[in-house]
Amino acid sequence: MQFLMVGAGLSGAVIGRQLAEHGHDVTVVDRRDHIGGNCHTERDANTDVMVHVYGPHIFHTDDEEVWQYVNQYANFLPYKNRVKTTSRGQVFSLPVNLHTINQFFGKTMRPDEAHAFITEEQADTSITDPQSFEEQAMRFVGRDLYEAFFKGYTIKQWGCHPSELPASILKRLPVRFNYDDNYFFHKFQGMPENGYTDMITGILDHPSITVKLNTMFDRNMADGFDHVFYSGPLDGYFDYELGRLGYRTLDFERFIYDGDYQGCAVMNYGEEDVPYTRITEHKHFSPWEAHERSVCYREYSRAAGPDDIPYYPIRQVKEKALLGEYVDLAEETQNVTFVGRLGTYRYLDMDVTIREALDTARASLDAIAADQDLKPFFVAPI
Ligand SMILES: Cc1cc2nc3c(=O)[nH]c(=O)nc-3n(C[C@H](O)[C@H](O)[C@H](O)COP(=O)(O)OP(=O)(O)OC[C@H]3O[C@@H](n4cnc5c(N)ncnc54)[C@H](O)[C@@H]3O)c2cc1C
C-alpha cells in the first residue's frame, strides 16, 4: 500500500518505519526544513554545542521495548536530569527533596523528621477535598513551599492562577524525603550521543521511505495514497473550522556565554516577577563533550497565537468540549488516522509517543491483513 505520513517527528517516523519494514511504500512530508519534530537537535554554528532547538528533551522510560527500540538507532549515554531553581535569592535542588527542605527551613532534619514536619506542621489539613492545583499543593506541602516552588512557576507556565487549574496536575505528594535529586523516576534514562535528529534520521533511513521537507500538507495531497497518518494539529486538519484548540507556546531568547553560565543544564526561576520560567544551558546535556563556549536559552511561556508553534495543549473544560467536536468530525473522515501529540491534542513524552506509534503500526498491519479499514484513532484523545 501507499502511505502518506504527515509530520517527520517521532510519530510519523516510527509508524512509517514499521510500515516500510512490512513491504509498504511510505512518503513522509513535513512543513519544516528538518526532520525530528519538536525533538529536533542541531549543532550550534557558533559554539558547536548540540542544541535542543524546541526546548530540553531528556529520554526516560520504564518501557523495555521502547528502550530497546531507540537503542537500535542511537548510542544512548547515561544522563540524569538534575534541575535547580532559584527562589528568594538562593539556589535550591528540585524536585523538592530533603536537601531543599532542610535548606529552605534552615534545619538538619532526618527523613522521618522531615516527613512529620511537612505532613503535620506545614500541610494544610483543613483542606479535606482539594479541588484546585493550589488547594492540592497547600494540602500536601503547605503555603511556604507552595509559594516558593510551585506558585510563581505555574502562573508563568500556564498563564493562569493555580486556583484555576485542576487538582489532578499534582497527583501525589510532590516531595522526596531523601537526597535523591534525579528529576525522573524511570528505570532507563539517557541522551543520544549525536542528538535526537540523528536518531530519527536512522529511523527514516529505509529504501521504501521518501522524505519531503518544506512541504505543507493539504487534503488534496491524500489523492494517490491509500491512507494518511496525520501527526499535525487535529484542528488544523479541518482548517480550524470549529475554532482553535488552545495551546501554550514558548519563546526562546538565545545567548552565548564564554565558559560555564550556570553549572547545570536546567535552572528554573520560581518567582513570578522573573519573566522567564527557566534557562537551559545546552552543553550540559552532553557531559561527554568539552566546549569552552556555551549557548543558553531563556524560556518564556505564553498563549499560542495562530502563527505560533503549538507546544503544550491546555485541555481545560473549554478546550475539551471543542476537542470533542473535532473528534466527532475526525471519526467521520475516511482513510486518515490521527496520531501523536498534535493529532490527539495530548502532552506525550517521547517514550509514550514511540509506544503509541509502535502499537498503532501493529494494529494497522493487523487490520490490513484482515482486510479491514484503518481507524481514525488508535488512541482515543479524550
Ligand atoms: C518544551 C518541550 C519539552 C519536552 N521535553 C521532553 C522530555 O524531556 N522528555 C520527553 O520524553 N519528551 C519531551 N517532550 C515531548 C516530545 O517533544 C514529544 O513526545 C514528541 O515531540 C512527539 O512527537 P510527535 O511526532 O507526535 O510530534 P512533533 O514532534 O510535534 O512532530 C509533528 C511534526 O508534524 C509537522 N507538521 C505539523 N503540521 C503539519 C502540516 N500541516 N504539514 C506538514 N507537516 C506538519 C511538524 O512540523 C512536526 O515536525 C517535550 C515537549 C516539549 C514541547
Task: Give the mean pLDDT of 344-361.
Answer: 98
Expressed in angstroms and rounded, the spacing between residue 92 Cα and the centre of ligand 1 is 30
CB burial of residue 26 (10 Å; 0-12, 13-18, 19+):
buried
Q: Are residues 222 and 121 in the same domain?
A: no
Q: What is the pLDDT of residue 309?
A: 98
Q: What is the pLDDT of residue 169?
A: 83
284 domain residue, yes or no: no
Q: Are residues 159 and 202 in the same domain?
A: no
Q: Which of 133, 136, 185, 139 is nearest to 164 (CA)?
A: 133
The answer to whether the CB of 236 is under 6 A from ligand 1 is yes
151 domain residue, yes or no: yes
Q: What is the pLDDT of residue 233?
A: 98
The pLDDT > 70 percentage for the chain reads 100
Q: Are residues 10 and 142 in the same domain?
A: no
Do residues 326 and 242 lie in contact, with contact meaning Cβ atoms separated by under 8 Å?
yes
pTM: 0.97
Q: For a substitution probing ligand 1, which of 268, 308, 341, 347 has the most ligand atoms within 8 Å of its CB?
A: 341
Q: Are residues 76 and 103 in the same domain?
A: no
110 is catalytic: no
Q: Are residues 234 and 328 in the same domain?
A: yes
Q: Are residues 232 and 353 in the same domain?
A: yes
Q: Which of 147, 172, 197 is the last residue of a domain?
A: 172
Q: For a substitution probing ligand 1, which of 32, 38, 249 has the most ligand atoms within 8 Å of its CB?
A: 38
Q: In the sheet that 278-281 helps form, which strands lie side by side, from edge to edge?
A: 90-93, 84-87, 266-269, 278-281, 293-303, 247-258, 312-313
Output the average pLDDT for the chain: 97
248 is catalytic: yes
Expressed in angstroms and rounded, the spacing between residue 292 Cα and the centre of ligand 1 is 30
Q: Are residues 112 and 199 in the same domain?
A: no
Q: What is the pLDDT of residue 174?
A: 81
Q: How far apart are CA 192 and CA 207, in angstroms?
A: 24
Cis peptide before 174 (omega within 30 of 0): no
Residue 81 CA: nearest ligand 1 atom is 8
What is the band of 268 on the pLDDT scale with cuts at 50, 70, 90? very high
Q: Are residues 331 and 217 in the same domain?
A: yes
381 domain residue, yes or no: no
The answer to whether the CB of 11 is under 6 A from ligand 1 is yes
Q: Are residues 193 and 154 in the same domain?
A: no
75: containing domain: 2-80+189-244+314-369
What is the band of 277 on the pLDDT scale with cuts at 50, 70, 90? very high
Do residues 51 and 43 lie in contact, with contact meaning Cβ atoms separated by under 8 Å?
yes
Q: Which of 340, 287, 358, 366 is nearest to 68 (CA)?
A: 358
17 is catalytic: no
Q: Are residues 238 and 333 in the same domain?
A: yes
Q: What is the pLDDT of residue 116?
A: 98
Q: What is the pLDDT of residue 222?
A: 97
Q: What is the pLDDT of residue 168?
A: 85
Structurally, the chain folds into a number of domains equal to: 2
pLDDT tens digits along 194-223: 999 999 999 999 999 999 999 999 999 999
308 domain residue, yes or no: no
Expressed in angstroms and rounded, the spacing between residue 259 Cα and the centre of ligand 1 is 31
Task: Give the mean pLDDT of 140-157.
Answer: 96
Q: How far apart are CA 339 and CA 223, in angstroms?
A: 20
pLDDT tens digits along 125-147: 999 999 999 999 999 999 999 99
Considering only CA atoms, which residue is closest to atom 13 of ligand 1?
A: 349
What is the band of 5 on the pLDDT scale with cuts at 50, 70, 90? very high
CATH number at residue 232: 3.40.50.720
Q: Which of 172, 197, 214 is the last residue of a domain?
A: 172
For the chain, helix, strand, coil in percent to 5 are: 35, 20, 45
Q: Decide if pLDDT at 171 tops 80.
A: no
Q: Decide if pLDDT at 183 tops 80.
A: yes
Selected catalytic residue, list 17, 139, 176, 355: 176
Cβ atoms within 10 Å, residue 244:
15
CATH number at residue 167: 1.10.3110
Q: What is the pLDDT of residue 172?
A: 74
Q: Decide if pLDDT at 173 tops 80.
A: no
Q: Which of 142, 172, 202 is the last residue of a domain?
A: 172
The answer to whether the CB of 66 is under 6 A from ligand 1 is no
Selected catalytic residue, list 302, 347, 366, 373: 347
The residues, ordered by sequence, that sit 6+ positions from 45 with a Cβ below 8 Å of its Cβ are none
88 domain residue, yes or no: no
349 is catalytic: yes
Q: Are residues 17 and 144 in the same domain?
A: no
236 domain residue, yes or no: yes
178 domain residue, yes or no: no
227 domain residue, yes or no: yes
Q: Decide if pLDDT at 39 tops 90.
A: yes
Q: Are residues 222 and 351 in the same domain?
A: yes
What is the band of 97 on the pLDDT scale with cuts at 50, 70, 90? very high
